[in-house]
Amino acid sequence: MIHPKARLRRRSALVAAGATALLGLAVLPAPIAAQEGAAAVQDVTVTDVVLPLGGTLLKAPKLTASGTRLSKDDLAAILRPNSAVPWNERLARLDAGSLTVPVLTSENAGPGDNRQTVTYRDVVARDVRAGRVGELTAAGATVDVVAGPNGGSGTYGQVRATDLDLAALSRLYTVPGDGKGPVQRVYGTIQVSDVTYADARGTTVKMASLNGRDLGGRQIPDGWNGAFAIVAGGFQEGSDRRVFAAAAADLIDATTVGSLELTGLSVSDADPKGPLLFEIRRIAYASAGPEAGTRLENLSLSRGGLRTQLGRLTLTGASLAPTVAALQGIAAEPAAGIGFSDAEMRRLTPQIGNLTLNDLAIALPPEAVPERPPAREARTPARGSVPEAARPGAGRPADPKAAGDPLAVTVTPQPERRIALREAALAFGPPSDGVPRSSRLTLSGLSLPADLLAGQPIIGMLPAYGYRTLDLDVAADAAFDEKARDLTVRDVTVSGRDIGTVHLSGTLGGIGPELLSGTLPAATLLMFSGSAKSLDLTVENAGLFERFLAAQAKDLSLKPDELRKEYVTASLLGVPIILGSGPAAKAIGAAMGQFVMKPGKLVLHAKSKEPAGIGFIELGAARSPATVLDRLDVDAKAN
């Protein structure tokens, strides 16, 4: 999971970069040299435009305003950076048929030695009325970044925005508000094409297009400029975390996005361990409507012999409301503090909602097994024979295949191994103190080589029973009751073709958020606080038991029916002795004997006689199984 702070920084940086760039394309500085004004419609040209905008410096060697009734003095007053009149009021007076800037440079310094320069070409703002731009375009741009010892460069293709409200943009960035005002739309649409960026470490990022619609937000107490500066600064030594929390909450809650679509994204890395290529055909986000949520389509990842493909990933029902509420709670604290605790980080986790993956395929690199011939015995040359080095043609390279060199090593590639998954769905209910109240996981059509499970308990023996490929379906459903401190496992089901099905459900007590506090290992806390209240287990055979019996009979040189009778006897007599010979032990032994005789279904139900359950530490310290079974109501049956 992505750290909330990192996610916020990335989102803030993207919004700031896009908004600042387009602001720079349209909000231009006062000219150094101006000519006399005129009341008639005219074209006005200014040169050597320089405008400091926070940490960004905008430069335009030449700017032309066409079809405007503004005089030079009027235009200069609107664009003057040090004017006492607020930007939004001045921009509301901006009126022209078009604004043209052949070259616009945006220079951003910091933090530290970091520098970023973006140079836009052929910038044109058309139909500029009362600070609103009907259409804003740039033919392209170049990017140059210096980041300490590293750096990079890149290019943009055409940039286009429609229905750009410069006055609203200025209000959001520079005029404080209470964060509760109406949403002000800044961009109707925004489009960027053919983006390429490469850094000095060999990583290249490409994007075919980016399209956004209905981008805007609300005014917040620090203004967006101030809030971005606070969030970008992060946690400085000795700084008050309440300031950071307030600014972060304001930005998240105030930003509105109608929809975003990104196509043709690829990331390649010339890693010495093997070149990496990651591609996504389409990423789409919509805030409302039938397509609400986030979708990623046609993902692929390749590195060396490993290849992964994913048809679609869908995220719906996600919400940052828990994150905003946690940040606002920190911001309202009466005393200053530094950093976030583990419990607070848990509460900052957003609501995930429903995550679905479709058509996952992983091709594992084949394993090449060298086949070496047996060692050749050294022989003493016969008397009178010609030494090998003295024979004609000695020293010339020979064809190993033609010569049939017995020492040549033949590498036999093994068949490609694949993991496939038709669908995976993960659903989380609303969180309580950072912990989801319910969760459900389903895996449908999971196929994988059986040898991948080698070494695992129980399932690691499946290849020995003749299974080469496992076809599985998995479901897990759980609910958490914070007040009762109960974790109810409503269903865990694992079923395999020609194997069988295992159903498991039960209730655990003494489960609380402190298990995620990080102060002690969760296993240690669970041992002291957890308890077992109930357990239901159902085993359905679909071929595994017969394979197990045949494999064991072969190893013991017995017939399967002979071994079956021995297992029946062991179940009826041995199991009760091991478990203490009580009524519950005899019931379990009898059910197991029936199952072995006719492998079908085995059902076991156990419930603690004590409402609080049996503590895990008591289970671990029990001297014998009988002491545990005496505290349980047990029901066991087969078929």
pLDDT digits (tens, 9 = 90+) for 372-381: 445 444 444 4
Residues facing residue 469 across a β-bridge: 449
Give which of 519, 551, 197, 119 is closest to 343, Cα–Cα.
Answer: 519
Distance CA 591, CA 595 (A): 6
Q: Is residue 90 part of a domain?
A: yes
Which range marks the domain in which residue 108 is found? Answer: 4-268
Residue 9 has pLDDT above 60, yes or no: no
Q: Which of 268, 299, 331 is the last residue of a domain?
A: 268
Alpha-carbon distances of 105 from 18, 132, 211, 294, 599, rounded to whole Å = 14, 22, 23, 34, 77
pLDDT score at 392: 44
pLDDT digits (tens, 9 = 90+) for 344-396: 888 899 999 999 999 999 998 876 444 444 544 444 444 444 444 444 444 44
Greater pLDDT, 374 or 486: 486
Q: For residue 10, what pLDDT band results from cuts at 50, 70 and 90?
A: very low
Mean pLDDT over the full length of the chain: 84
What is the pLDDT averaged over residues 121-127?
A: 95
pLDDT score at 91: 81
- Cis check for the bond before 275: say yes or no (omega within 30 of 0): no
Contacts of 481 (CB under 8 A, 6+ apart): 437, 487, 488
Q: Is residue 282 part of a domain?
A: no
Distance CA 218, CA 227 (A): 13
Distance CA 503, CA 476 (A): 10
The amino acid present at 82, given as its one-letter code, is N
Q: For residue 150, what pLDDT band results from cuts at 50, 70 and 90?
A: confident
pLDDT score at 261: 97
**Dihedral of CA 425/430/435/439: which sign?**
negative
pLDDT score at 410: 54
pLDDT score at 498: 95
Give which of 313, 581, 558 is closest to 421, Cα–Cα.
Answer: 313
> How many angstroms separate the first and last alpha carbons of the chain?
44
pLDDT score at 173: 86
Distance CA 197, CA 211 (A): 18
pLDDT score at 415: 61
Q: For residue 313, what pLDDT band results from cuts at 50, 70 and 90?
A: very high
Q: Kindly calculate the radius of gyration of the chain based on its CA atoms and give it in whole angstroms.
A: 35
Token output for 277: 């290529």
Q: Which of 268, 299, 332 is the last residue of a domain?
A: 268
What is the pLDDT averaged over residues 443-448?
A: 96
Q: Is residue 582 part of a domain?
A: yes
The string of DSSP codes covering 217-234 is E---TTHHHHHHHHHHH-
Q: Is residue 245 part of a domain?
A: yes
This prediction has a pTM of 0.79
Q: Is residue 97 part of a domain?
A: yes
Q: Which of 268, 299, 324 is the last residue of a domain?
A: 268
pLDDT score at 280: 97
Q: Is residue 254 part of a domain?
A: yes
Q: For residue 554, what pLDDT band results from cuts at 50, 70 and 90?
A: very high
Q: Which helix (H) or strand (E) holds 553?
A: helix 544-556
The amino acid present at 592, given as its one-letter code, is M
- Count how many domains the chain has: 2
pLDDT score at 409: 52
Contacts of 435 (CB under 8 A, 6+ apart): 346, 480, 482, 513, 516
Distance CA 486, CA 497 (A): 34
Distance CA 79, CA 57 (A): 14
Token output for 275: 């070149």
Q: Is residue 397 part of a domain?
A: no
Region of poorest pLDDT, from 55-59, 340-344, 382-386, 428-432: 382-386
Q: For residue 456, what pLDDT band results from cuts at 50, 70 and 90?
A: confident
